[in-house]
Amino acid sequence: MPDGTDKASEPPSASSSASATPRQGTPETSTLRQRFRSLAEEVGKGMDDLSVRVRAAADGTLKVIAPGTPYDQLELHTDDDHKAHKQRQRKPAKKGWKWTGRRLTSRAFVLGGIAVWSATTTDMTPEFADLWPMIQNSLDLRELLGNMTFIESVQKGMFENRDFTIGDDLISKYGLKQDKPIILLPGIVSTGLESWSTEPVARPLFRSRLWGTSTMIRAVLTDKDRWVQAIAIDLETGLDPPGHKVRAAQGIDAASEFIQGFWIWQKVVQNLATIGYDTNTMDMAAYDWRLSFYNLEIRDAFLSRLKSRIELLKRRTGKKIVLASHSLASDTCSFKWVEAEPDAHGFGGGGGPTWVDDHIDSWINVAGTLLGVPKAMTAFLSGEMRDTVEINPFGSYVLERFFSRKERARLFRNWPGSSSMWMKGGNRIWGNGTNAPDDPVNATDTYGNLFSFRHKDVEPVDSKLTEETVAPNLTVSDAVPYVLTHTPPEYQRMFATNYSVGFETDPKKLKENGAHDHTKWSNPLEVELPNAPGMKIYCLYGHGKETERSYWYVKGEYEQADGRADALDEQAFCEADDEDCERVPLDFPTNRAHWIDNAVTIKGVLPEVRNGVKFSDGDGTIATLSLGAMCVKGWKGKTRWNPAGIEVVTQEYKHQPESLDLRGGPLTADHVDILGSSPLNAAILKIAAGRGDLVTEQIGSKIEEYVERMEWD
């Protein structure tokens, strides 16, 4: 473990119940449709006048300014930004219908689910009973429903025209047809999870989807504590908590959609089917993303089953396999497990040094979390990301009411698999306190300080934020141990026995890591690629969308917690074999509360700070620096990390969203929505059909400049 570094208005109570807040005007004998219509009309009554303004941003987008409403900070796009809009006759737009997708989707999803649930449930939880009057006073649901109905009709027509067309076009142009078998590996939180326990505490949830589908939402709203208990992993064992047994759904449907209407891999599956693929030549390797890489094999034999699937497909078809991974799944494609000889506990695939070259034709790495994700660091430290600090008061109230920052952080820590998204490579990759590889030209600040702490008594304006009033400033090398010290001992032990975030340059050590040390296998900077000169790697990802890169933080008061970071300096760490490192005696409060300092907004500086967050280029989730550094430098040609000289092709896609499409349209490059984009689907089909030669290098970001500023030697 690295040495620790320690530099060191409340929502209303839910005292009312459903019985104290009757729903008037809804006859008990009415139909669900009548009840919902009545409920929607009830919400629209008594609305206060709203102050709504529209502000133009420097990039040509527009932003709604409506403090205290769910519309605050919504982004709008003008038709002039999109070629497709210029090609058709423009018609007057209906009021409110050009909201961008992700913000509207989240609000419509939450509010629609809450409204339907309340319309069909006789007893509200105390939290919801307290929340409902706030919804009535802050949102015109009638307008929202009208907008949603209109958008749904537009989207339906658009999707009917777009579904299958990519495959049809490629058949017409190149004569593409099914060739190489393909296995899809979904990313984090993509695979549905369902309960299989028959213990009394879990029996009501048997075979219910605890992650994915609307069942998850109902479970959270009706019995949040039981849902959290079921969905969390026991950090002491790394496996299921007592009384619960949650497993990944299987088959193509396991990750095709998250909930009905919100597709993930569905567009890829549809287009592959268009050129002839079916379940005999295409598979979805769904897995429990909560588990660490090691325990995926120990509990579920996931890696063994994946190896067997690949061997079976090759034996049946006589052709090598294409692997297509998304996001976190890129970590499972280090191929080190399959090459390694089984250890004393049987962990290792025993395939030997030629297995990958014999069985894998290509690896399609879609938006892989190769060198980590900055927002993962904040999730583990304080349980928040931009998604929680920049939303309007209504959304913030819901999140804080049902999942406080502390609860969210605890939940993230109880998903060991997500720890593979920690930032890797330290200051060599991510920069220091003076500069960072991806700093903008003429920068007045730097991304290199991942966390900057403003003193609580200092006004959050540029003139007051100096070296004396901002401390400490933590680089990535500082922040990794800092975050670890603010996690409980059992998490620290789990991290030490499963993950590593270092940087290795010694070829001998790189080879040893790949053969014997599974903690290094999810870090591409600490292991070699397989000895597979016949394989090809395609790095496909988006850029051009602002993405979280570094943060302003503030410390609060001391509080009781599961760690001891702010009291014992270097003793805050628990070594993996230290069973005596437990909670502080008498539970004395030794941890400082942390949260993103959303009071800090500094304009006119580079990079700009907004709501305590500095943004860089990326796909909205992962910075371009992490998406592309290994592809254009670390693995390019014969390097110490790619001694076999595996060919690597990088194809970037610029984010060009359509305002009419909630998921961004055919040219989106958003981290998840890219799975429905036309260029990405076309690339996957070409590779699977044996025409990978049609997928050529395409770089539009500044990633090639960034990597030259990194310290590779």
> Residues 26-41: pLDDT tens digits?
334 444 445 444 544 4
Percent of the chain, pLDDT > 70? Answer: 71
CA gap 349, 339 in Å, rounded: 6
Q: Which of 256, 671, 673, 678 is catalytic?
A: 671
| Alpha carbon distance 582, 413 (integer Å) | 16
Question: How confident is the model over 603-610, as a mean pLDDT?
Answer: 89
Active site residue 327: yes
Here the contacts of 393-398 (C-beta below 8 Å, separation 24 or greater) are 393/68, 393/138, 394/69, 394/70, 394/134, 394/135, 394/138, 394/139, 395/70, 395/106, 395/107, 395/110, 397/11, 397/131, 397/134, 398/110, 398/131
pLDDT for the residue numbered 140: 46
Length of the chain equals: 713
What is the band of 75 on the pLDDT scale with cuts at 50, 70, 90?
low
The pLDDT value recorded for residue 558 is 77
Is 461's pLDDT higher than 90? no
What's the pTM?
A: 0.78
| Interval 593-597 mean pLDDT | 90
**pLDDT at 25 > cutoff 80:** no
Does 142 score more than 80 pLDDT? no
Poorest-confidence range of 65-74, 106-115, 230-239, 414-423? 106-115
User: Does the annotation count 626 as an active-site position?
Assistant: no
**Catalytic hit among 327, 500, 522, 550:** 327
Rg (CA), the chain: 25
In tens, the pLDDT along 526-565 reads 999 999 999 999 999 999 999 999 999 998 877 766 554 4
Assess whether 359 carries a catalytic annotation. no
Catalytic residue, candidates 478, 619, 661, 673: 619
Q: Which tens digit of pLDDT belongs to each residue from 635-648? A: 999 999 999 999 99
Question: Is residue 362's pLDDT more than 70?
Answer: yes
Q: What is the pLDDT of residue 384?
A: 86
Cis omega (within 30 of 0) for bond into 472 = yes
pLDDT tens sequence across 644-681 = 999 999 999 999 999 888 889 999 999 999 999 999 99
| 415 three-class SS | coil
pLDDT band with cut points at 50, 70 and 90 for residue 465: confident
Structure tokens at 505: 């340059």
Residues 6+ apart with CB under 8 A from 583: 489, 562, 564
Cα first-last separation, the chain: 23
Contact 206, 246 (CB under 8 A): no
Q: Tell me what pLDDT residue 688 has.
A: 98
**pLDDT tens digits, one per residue of 291-344:** 999 999 999 999 999 999 999 999 999 999 999 999 999 987 779 999 999 988
List the structure tokens of 250. 């299987």
The better pLDDT of the pair 19, 629 is held by: 629
Report pLDDT for 15. 38
228 or 49, greater pLDDT:
228
- For tokens 């929202």, the residue is 144
> Measuring CA to CA, how many Å separate 712 from each of 503, 570, 629, 643, 659?
9, 29, 11, 15, 41
**584: confidence class by pLDDT, cuts 50, 70, 90:** very low
The rounded distance, in Å, linking the Cα atoms of 711 and 663 is 37
User: Which has the higher per-residue pLDDT, 119 or 268?
Assistant: 268
- pLDDT at res. 231: 94
- Helix, strand, or coil here: 490? helix
Distance, in Å, from the CA atom of 139 to the CA atom of 151, rounded to the nearest integer, reads 18
* CB neighbours of residue 82 within 10 Å: 17
Which parts of 139-223 fold into alpha helices (H)?
A: 141-162, 165-174, 213-222
Residue with the bigger pLDDT between 118 and 519: it is 519
- Output the six-digit token pair for 427: 């200051």
Per-residue confidence (pLDDT) for residue 367, from 0 to 100: 97
